[in-house]
Amino acid sequence: MRATRIIWEGAGSHAPHEFDGTLIPTRTGLAPTCAMCGDASPQWSADDAFSDNFRPLSHLAQLYPFAVEGYPLSMCAACVWCSRALRLRCAPFFARRDGVWFVPRRSLLSALLDPPEPPFVACAPLYGADHGGEAHGWRAVWPREPALPAGLDVLNRLQAKHVAAYAGVALDRMRYPLQWDDHTRVMVDVLLWRDLAARLGAMASALRAASVGVTDTRDALTTLRAPVRAPLAVHARWPTLARGLSTYTRSAWWPLLADIVPLPDAPPRPEKGSPTKAAPSSVEAPSAPAIVALAPIPRPTPAAPLAPATPSPRENPKRRGQLTLF
């Protein structure tokens, strides 16, 4: 079974439709197989799946591995529906045949280290999440959700990469494919990532305890180079903290892992100047507001889930961290 079919079934197996619910008419004269997933008897074409605004322009060979020469790019209901569902480009998600769960960035690492039972699909449209998807994705139409309150507009466009069409199917929850935007599919090795996340968490703690800013901390985790401005004590410990990690920095997934390790808050600075001055973390973190918006985040202890996400309008408190909606 292909990833798009798992996602489509998880979302309720809906016929392809426009944003306003109008069904998209079927076509004739199509290829015998869906160009995207290979399923038999497709009834739509790529023109139904992608408007000019959302048409993928790169990685087309991976997008249509089953294209049949001499026919239009033909597509099945699952592939058309997944390509049109804007919510799927707004935030990371896991999908199984019985559901689709969106994950806020701050919970992504704990979700990746504790994924659902296979078969499932794991996608991280981080480009879209960073371009407003995580903040506004809840306004993208999704099956069985009630209409938005009066005065709120449906989100119908977003600068975001397609992910579902490129994703693979996970058959093993300890080692599985994660589709990262449209360009990279990485293998998540849960045991390895758990160890590395703990190591990166220790480095992050040392840096943040020394009041190193969020951006410098992220750079240090990615490059394994201690920030020049870090205190001498951190530089002294750095070789021990980073020992052995350079083996992994050339892996395609390393920048992703370094980017999703939660950062602890920096300690409050000694009182000087105005008492109304903002906390250091909010001053230093223009690049990562979703992370510092949280209350103090514990160091990642990979065996345990992270603290629950900050309540949001769409969060179901009964669900565990990785299964929250935005």
Tokens of 98: 């019985």
Q: Does 160 bind Zn ion (CB under 5 A)?
A: no
Tokens of 273: 């100047």
By CB under 5 A, name the one of 7, 63, 67, 79 that touches Zn ion. Answer: 79
CB closer to Zn ion out of 67 and 224 = 67
Q: Does 36 bind Zn ion (CB under 5 A)?
A: yes
Q: Does 39 bind Zn ion (CB under 5 A)?
A: yes
Q: Which stretch binds Zn ion (CB under 5 A): 10-18, 34-42, 103-111, 188-196?
A: 34-42
Q: Give min distance, CB of 119 to Zn ion, in A.
A: 17
Q: Does 37 bind Zn ion (CB under 5 A)?
A: yes
CB closer to Zn ion out of 39 and 284 = 39
CB closer to Zn ion out of 162 and 208 = 162
Residues 6+ apart with CB under 8 A from 73: 31, 35, 45, 46, 64, 67
* Cross-strand pairs, 175: 189
Q: Which stretch binds Zn ion (CB under 5 A): 56-64, 78-86, 187-195, 268-276?
A: 78-86
Q: Which stretch binds Zn ion (CB under 5 A): 30-38, 65-73, 256-264, 275-283?
A: 30-38
By CB under 5 A, name the one of 3, 6, 31, 34 that touches Zn ion. Answer: 34
Q: Give min distance, CB of 126 to Zn ion, in A.
A: 25
Q: Give min distance, CB of 307 to Zn ion, in A.
A: 39
Q: Which stretch binds Zn ion (CB under 5 A): 13-21, 76-84, 224-232, 235-243?
A: 76-84
- Residue burial 250-260, b: 16+ Cβ < 10 Å; e: rest: eeebbbbbbbb
* Cross-strand pairs, 177: 187
Q: Give min distance, CB of 53 to Zn ion, in A.
A: 22
Q: Give min distance, CB of 36 to Zn ion, in A.
A: 5
CB closer to Zn ion out of 30 and 34 = 34
- Chain residues in the site for Zn ion (CB under 5 A): 34, 36-37, 39, 76, 79
